[in-house]
């Protein structure tokens, strides 16, 4: 399992996957820094009130977090879409699984390597995002306590790991490209689920809210994002009310229940176990 884990890392480095991810991220952070610069300049020049500047910085941070988590999720899909399928399609797997290696070790080695890679990436992205916010004295960022940052980081890491659980499972069922497209669709569906739930709350329709919850059960990634947002931006419930319409992707209703988080844990472990089972049972030809 260690050999597979290490090779997965080496592959990302040698194939320059990590480099490409870094370049895309750098562009994003550059864009983010420019945005923060003009935001701070505008606040200063127009002498906006603290309340309005606070609201604006909240919106800005929320938007940045949403975009960074989406970027991270999409790059995770890129990493994991061919985790197993690409090796089956190319035939590389034939010389691997005929070695004294149990099939579950192969799956867990691949998953572990990719998950570690995604977590390192997520940590860097999270850290740089917050560091930039702090450097530009964005009030919502500078107000965060260490406890908030650590707890938010935990949720932030769970997003790519959860996406990876589903994506690696998909790579035992579908070929690489269809799997990647399907996973992107499911991820976006999760955001849509959040919006549907929000609309349901808005119009006080239990049916629409239930539809949103149902979508979140299929794609619970947005719930993890919302959990992180609540920790980092604790006023998001109030501000969310004010921002409905302005922020399409994160209008938050009530916080997710404990049962939902248990469901997400079962979802992740379940898909990983299903991947191991499917790969163990399949013929490799």
With tokens 């090796």, the residue in question is 87
Least separation in angstroms between residue 80's CB and another protein is: 17
Assigned token pair, 69? 């988590």
Least separation in angstroms between residue 21's CB and another protein is: 16
Distance separating alpha carbons of residues 214 and 208, to the nearest angstrom = 10
User: Closest CB to another protein among 89 and 241?
Assistant: 89
CA 2 to chain centre: 26
Ramachandran region of residue 204, left (φ > 0), alpha (ψ -120 to 50) or beta?
left
User: Closest CB to another protein among 99 and 206?
Assistant: 99
Assigned token pair, 141? 């960022």
User: Closest CB to another protein among 17 and 70?
Assistant: 17
Least separation in angstroms between residue 99's CB and another protein is: 4
Residue closest to 68 by CA, chosen among 116, 16, 127, 20: 127
User: Closest CB to another protein among 14 and 137?
Assistant: 14
Least separation in angstroms between residue 2's CB and another protein is: 7
Least separation in angstroms between residue 94's CB and another protein is: 4
CB neighbours of residue 102 within 10 Å: 12
**Three-state secondary-structure class, residue 93:** helix
Residue closest to 4 by CA, chosen among 85, 80, 110: 110
The residue ranges that bind another protein (CB under 8 A) are 2-3, 6-7, 10-11, 14-15, 90-92, 94-102, 281, 283-285
**Three-state secondary-structure class, residue 101:** coil
User: Closest CB to another protein among 10 and 42?
Assistant: 10
């Amino acid at each position: 399992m260690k050999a597979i884990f290490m090779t997965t890392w080496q592959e990302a480095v040698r194939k320059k996957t990590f480099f490409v991810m870094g370049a895309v991220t750098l562009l994003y952070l550059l864009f983010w820094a420019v945005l923060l610069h003009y935001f701070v300049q505008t606040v200063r020049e127009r002498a906006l009130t603290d309340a309005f500047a606070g609201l604006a910085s909240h919106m800005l941070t929320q938007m940045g977090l949403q975009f960074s988590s989406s970027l991270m999720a999409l790059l995770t899909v890129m990493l994991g879409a061919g985790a197993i399928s690409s090796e089956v399609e190319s035939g590389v797997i034939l010389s691997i699984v005929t070695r004294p290696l149990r099939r579950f070790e192969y799956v867990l080695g691949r998953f572990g390597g990719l998950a570690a890679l995604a977590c390192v990436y997520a940590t860097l992205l999270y850290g740089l995002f917050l560091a930039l916010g702090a450097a530009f004295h964005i009030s919502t960022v500078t107000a965060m306590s260490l406890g908030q940052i650590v707890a938010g980081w935990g949720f932030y890491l769970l997003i790519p790991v959860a996406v990876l659980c589903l994506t690696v499972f998909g790579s035992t069922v579908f070929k690489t490209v269809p799997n990647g497209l399907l996973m992107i669709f499911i991820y976006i569906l999760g955001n849509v689920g959040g919006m549907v739930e929000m609309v349901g709350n808005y119009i006080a329709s239990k049916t629409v809210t239930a539809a949103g919850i149902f979508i979140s059960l299929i794609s619970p990634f947005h719930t993890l994002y919302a959990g992180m947002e609540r920790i980092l931006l604790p006023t998001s419930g109030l501000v969310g009310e004010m921002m409905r319409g302005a922020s399409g992707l994160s209008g938050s209703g009530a916080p997710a229940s404990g049962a939902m988080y248990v469901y997400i844990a079962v979802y992740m472990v379940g898909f990983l176990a299903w991947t191991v089972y499917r790969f163990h049972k399949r013929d490799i030809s």
